[in-house]
Structure 1
Amino acid sequence: MATAGGYEQQGWSTLPDHIVVRILLHLDLTDRYNASLVCRSWQACFHQPYLWRYFHFRFLTTVDPQKDRMWGYSQCLAKHGHHLRSVRLSLDQGDVENRHHACRVIESLATTEGRQLAEIKIFFTGENPLFYAGAEFVAALKTLFGPTPPTIKAPRSQIVHVDLSDLTVPFDDSVFMILAENHPNLQSLNILNRMLICKVSPSSILHLVQKCRKLTRLMAYHCSLSDDILACFAESDRAPVEHLGIVCRREEKYSKTLASELWRDLVTASPSLRVSLGFDHTCPLIKVGELMLPEIPVRELRLETFTRIFEEVNLAAAYYAPTLEKLVLQTRNSDDLGTALINLTQTCKLLKSIYVYCVLKREVVEEILASSPLIRETKDYILKWTADPEPWVVGVEEGD
């Protein structure tokens, strides 16, 4: 063993296996395979089950040889698919080959013998093609969430975490009915996927909540919720709810507010419940105040309406002082808004994050920071008193 400067020089092959595995975890499949060719020790690490518990499939560019990449992924699934626990799948959906290969991966996961898959998250990173409905992804998800194929001998594990928030296709009730029937141990579901129209009805979410008694985290549009869902969440024979993420949009013009008494029952049954409540620019302004019920334990409030508002900020201070930790606000500046923001920061002692996407008066910003030690400590805020061209300015902002 050679020495240099009094220190022994050791080869790469002498690195402990767990260190090598940690290194390989940060590499994509091609680099991971190339690294495995360094020596026999690294080759053995390449095949360790722990290395394949978490895997990210990527179809992001047409420059790479996609057929070769898909061949490598197919080999990975054939040899190590039964070790996969958490899967991330990213693709630029503008390319037809990317979509085809991504769906093949999802379908392969569905038919992997002895699979242990517990978590899946799908990312669309590009722009949807014109008139694209994503029917192949809906079909692939139904296969993944469906019953065990007769060709699979060993029983498959149940999926417990599903995140479809970056899958911008209009999935419907059938996807979640199948998910509920075959994966009753589901713990978290995010379907806030930014599609213009939500096709998921309250009846399908109610069926899922009734079947999945361990579901503790649900992120969905307000139009997909109902009083019956809140009542089901409050039942005594299920796990307490930890997090509800609710976004209100144009559909609220025709929907009704969830009952205050049912929110109270839910908070009693789940005292640690936190709620993220959001309103986008399509939500009728008159509905914002109606939906901001004082019984809701709101931790994060997003008022991204782009309209001139301030009364809703005062409501947040009055209703959510014991719980509010984060405020995101997109609006136009006014003296009333400045007064409301100062009142909110003085009232909500737990507030530690505030993003205001308009130009405020300097004295308002200084008063907000002076009133909130937590915001000063975390430095987690956007507060401007001069116009800035990007990245937070939307349209033409008003100054002082």
Structure 2
Amino acid sequence: MEDTEESFLSWTSLPDHIIVKIFSYLNLQDKFQASFVCKSWNDCFHFPVLWADFVFIIQDDNKTATTRHRKCLEMHGSHLKNVLMKIDQSKPICRSVACDVLNGIASHANRNLSSIKIDFTGENPLFYAGSEFVQCLKKLFGCNPEAIETPMDSLVNVDLSGMPVAFDDNVLNLLSTNHPKLESLNLLNKVLVCKVSPDCILQLVKKCRKLKKLFVFHSSMSDDTLVALAEDGRTPLLELGISCRRQEKYGSDLTSEAWQQLVTKLPELKVMLYFDHTCPLHRVSEIMKPEIPVHVLNLQTFTMIYEEVNQASVHYQNTLEVVVLQTRNSPELGRALVNLARNCYKLHTLIVYCVLKKEIVDEILALRPKMKKDATYVLKWKPQDEPWVVGVEEGD
């Protein structure tokens, strides 16, 4: 009886699917240590399902961790489908290892990579341009090496928003030429100057006809791209994110006619408009055209702004769901926010980074009771230390 109970309680007697489930919650280091428990656990450590979604955390100069990353890539590179890379680019060794990993994925004989997201987590070295990562991306997005027979057109989701690197047309031309099945692309990083031309994005849209989500800078967009997105025979675009910055001082607008053509063809389209503090203020109202189905509006201007809030409450009263505002308080701003809450019946998230009057906060929450119930707001009437807590207006 005792032997039976001991066998029942033994970790080695757990079914494989239970062990695999446990492993799925562990990071690579803990998973690696757990694999030494017994042979059955070690076998489960190598199950392909555990390597389909993988996070490479490259944030220290530990040689053991570096070797482990390379060994895992060598053994399980063919199983990687959805990859997230977190890289401390402030350390040369981390940059070197990350590039090795990217090159290893790119040249793997049986690559099945579907999604790639790369986030830089440290401080950029002074005057660092990330040119070595640009070269790695060219290899990753490029055509098949001669020694590899498996087609490498499997990339579906590409998110480069966490890389403050200046991508050029060459990188994206390789992506669109060799990966026509692309469904999602995010280029909204924090680099100071966008080097991606409107013609490059136009060609990408024409080649990648399954595109469902696209996030780019306004300076990379054109009327022709909007028209191309409205063409027959392509997968309908679901989300379009456009960020406007300093380059809009010299840029041209997307016309109302082009927007109207796109919205008529894609009535379910959701558009996110972002304006940062470098965007000339007079360009904000010019870009916010009434034909755009704006669902998310981000106005982080750091200056006094309220006319644009009133404009949004009129133009986007049937679509607006999320508003993020970083500005200075004024009586006009208070009235504009109340109008926004009153007119935009779909509004469920309101983040305001300035101290308002209490009566304004009370009126907004009275107009949008669900927003108060769900605590999807930042509305303060008392100064407090940052970070401000979402859904707690007093900061108590």
**TM-score (norm. length: structure 1):** 0.94
Task: Give the AA of the match of 1:17.
Answer: D
Task: Give 1:148 deviation, angstroms.
Answer: 0.4
**Could you give the per-residue CA deviations for residues 264-310 of structure 1, whole angstroms, max 9, x where no partner exists?**
11112222110110110011110110000111111110010011111
Work out whether 1:13 is the aligned partner of 2:12.
yes
Task: Give the AA of the match of 2:90.
Answer: G
Instruction: Determine the C-alpha separation between the residues in 2 that align with 1:335 and 1:33.
Output: 59
**Could you give the per-residue CA deviations for residues 308-354 of structure 1, whole angstroms, max 9, x where no partner exists?**
11111111100111111110001111111101100110111111100
Instruction: Determine the C-alpha separation between the residues in 2 that align with 1:34 and 1:279.
Output: 47
Task: Indicate the residue corresponding to 2:215 in structure 1.
Answer: 219
Structure 1 stretch 342-351 or stretch 374-383: which is displaced more?
Answer: 374-383
Task: Indicate the residue corresponding to 1:168 in structure 2.
Answer: 164
Task: Give 1:157 deviation, angstroms.
Answer: 4.7
Task: Indicate the residue corresponding to 2:346 in structure 1.
Answer: 350
**Could you give the per-residue CA deviations for residues 47-71 of structure 1, whole angstroms, max 9, x where no partner exists?**
1111110111111123xx2x22222
Task: Indicate the residue corresponding to 2:261 in structure 1.
Answer: 265
Task: Indicate the residue corresponding to 1:46 in structure 2.
Answer: 45
Task: Give the AA of the match of 1:329.
Answer: L
Task: Indicate the residue corresponding to 1:100 in structure 2.
Answer: 96
Regions of 4+ moved over 3 Å = 1-4, 6-9
Task: Give the AA of the match of 1:16.
Answer: P
SS in 2 for 1:128: coil
Match of 1:133 among 105, 111, 129: 129
Work out whether 1:306 is the aligned partner of 2:302.
yes
Task: Give 1:238 deviation, angstroms.
Answer: 0.6
2:161, 2:187 within 8 Å by CA — same for their partners in 1? yes
Match of 2:326 among 313, 327, 330: 330
**TM-score (norm. length: structure 2):** 0.95
SS in 2 for 1:120: strand
Task: Indicate the residue corresponding to 2:22 in structure 1.
Answer: 23
Q: 1:8 to 1:104 in 2, by over 3 A?
A: closer
Instruction: Determine the C-alpha separation between the residues in 2 that align with 1:248 and 1:131.
Output: 24
Structure 1 stretch 25-34 or stretch 192-201: which is displaced more?
Answer: 25-34
SS in 2 for 1:41: helix
Equivalent positions of 1:81-160 (< 5 A) are: 81-160=77-156
Long gaps (5+) in structure 2: 390-396
Long gaps (5+) in structure 1: 394-400
Task: Give 1:36 deviation, angstroms.
Answer: 1.1
Equivalent positions of 1:26-37 (< 5 A) are: 26-37=25-36
SS in 2 for 1:245: strand
Work out whether 1:201 is the aligned partner of 2:200.
no
Task: Give the AA of the match of 2:147.
Answer: T
Task: Give 1:15 deviation, angstroms.
Answer: 2.5
**Could you give the per-residue CA deviations for residues 137-194 of structure 1, whole angstroms, max 9, x where no partner exists?**
0000000000000111333352010000001111111100010110000000000011
1:333, 1:358 within 8 Å by CA — same for their partners in 2? yes
Equivalent positions of 1:250-399 (< 5 A) are: 250-392=246-388
SS in 1 for 2:387: coil
SS in 2 for 1:58: strand
Instruction: Determine the C-alpha separation between the residues in 2 that align with 1:18 and 1:373.
Output: 45
Task: Give the AA of the match of 1:77.
Answer: L
Task: Give 1:25 deviation, angstroms.
Answer: 2.0
Task: Indicate the residue corresponding to 1:245 in structure 2.
Answer: 241
Instruction: Determine the C-alpha separation between the residues in 2 that align with 1:284 and 1:154.
Output: 48
Task: Give 1:374 deviation, angstroms.
Answer: 2.5
Task: Give 1:19 deviation, angstroms.
Answer: 2.4
Task: Give 1:3 deviation, angstroms.
Answer: 9.5
Task: Give the AA of the match of 2:292.
Answer: I
Task: Give 1:14 deviation, angstroms.
Answer: 2.6
Match of 1:189 among 175, 185, 191: 185
Task: Give the AA of the match of 1:135.
Answer: S
Q: 1:392 to 1:154 in 2, by over 3 A?
A: same
Task: Give 1:13 deviation, angstroms.
Answer: 2.0
Structure 1 stretch 198-207 or stretch 147-156: which is displaced more?
Answer: 147-156
Task: Indicate the residue corresponding to 2:228 in structure 1.
Answer: 232
Q: Cα RMSD (Å) of the superposition? A: 1.7
Structure 1 stretch 95-104 or stretch 21-30: which is displaced more?
Answer: 21-30
Query: Identity over the aligned pairs, expressed in percent?
Result: 51
1:341, 1:368 within 8 Å by CA — same for their partners in 2? yes
Instruction: Determine the C-alpha separation between the residues in 2 that align with 1:161 and 1:284.
Output: 32
**Could you give the per-residue CA deviations for residues 88-128 of structure 1, whole angstroms, max 9, x where no partner exists?**
11111000000000000000000111111000000100111
Task: Indicate the residue corresponding to 1:398 in structure 2.
Answer: none
Instruction: Determine the C-alpha separation between the residues in 1 that align with 2:16 and 2:2.
Output: 22
SS in 2 for 1:171: coil
Instruction: Determine the C-alpha separation between the residues in 2 that align with 1:374 and 1:205.
Output: 39
Task: Indicate the residue corresponding to 1:397 in structure 2.
Answer: none
Q: 1:3 to 1:202 in 2, by over 3 A?
A: same
SS in 2 for 1:19: helix
Task: Give the AA of the match of 1:269.
Answer: K
SS in 1 for 2:242: strand
Task: Give the AA of the match of 1:261.
Answer: E
